[in-house]
Amino acid sequence: MKQRFAKFRIGEVVRHRVFPFRGVIFDVDPEFANTDEWWNSIPAEVRPSKDQPFYHLLAENDQSEYIAYVSEQNLVPDESGEPLRNPNIAQIFEGQHGQYKPKFTTAH
């Protein structure tokens, strides 16, 4: 099995390469870890490979805020400097404008 390294980090603000949304990364899967139903809902001609990191984003577009699951190949750094408005960001992160840092939590 080939070892993969994530290009982006938790707390980084990214945007989708094709679709008009952006968000902050709150989790990373080293390879695809979603349902086959989700996978098959992507048109075959644009379906990304499963053997790459996939990112969980607190995402937003012009109309709404939501959680997105995006392959590494479809993300680029967001360098706009524009603040994100997703209300869930404050629950997970401290900081603002692309400099998000996970809040300290205790694991059991």
Q: What is the pLDDT of residues 48-77, one digit of tens each?
A: 999 999 999 999 999 999 999 999 999 999
Q: Answer whether 68's CB lies under 8 Å from 54's CB.
A: no
Q: For the chain, how many structural domains are there in total?
A: 1
Structural domain including 28 reads 13-102
Decide if 7 is inside a domain. no
Task: In whole angstroms, give the CA distance from residue 33 to residue 6.
Answer: 15
pTM of the complete model: 0.89
Q: What mean pLDDT is reported for the chain?
A: 90
106, pLDDT greater than 80: no
Distance of alpha carbon 48 from alpha carbon 108, whole angstroms: 36
Q: What is the pLDDT of residue 5?
A: 83
Cβ atoms within 10 Å of 29's Cβ, excluding its own: 15
89 domain residue, yes or no: yes
- Cα separation, 94 vs 101, whole angstroms: 5
Residue 50 lies in a domain: yes
Domain assignment present for residue 58? The answer is: yes
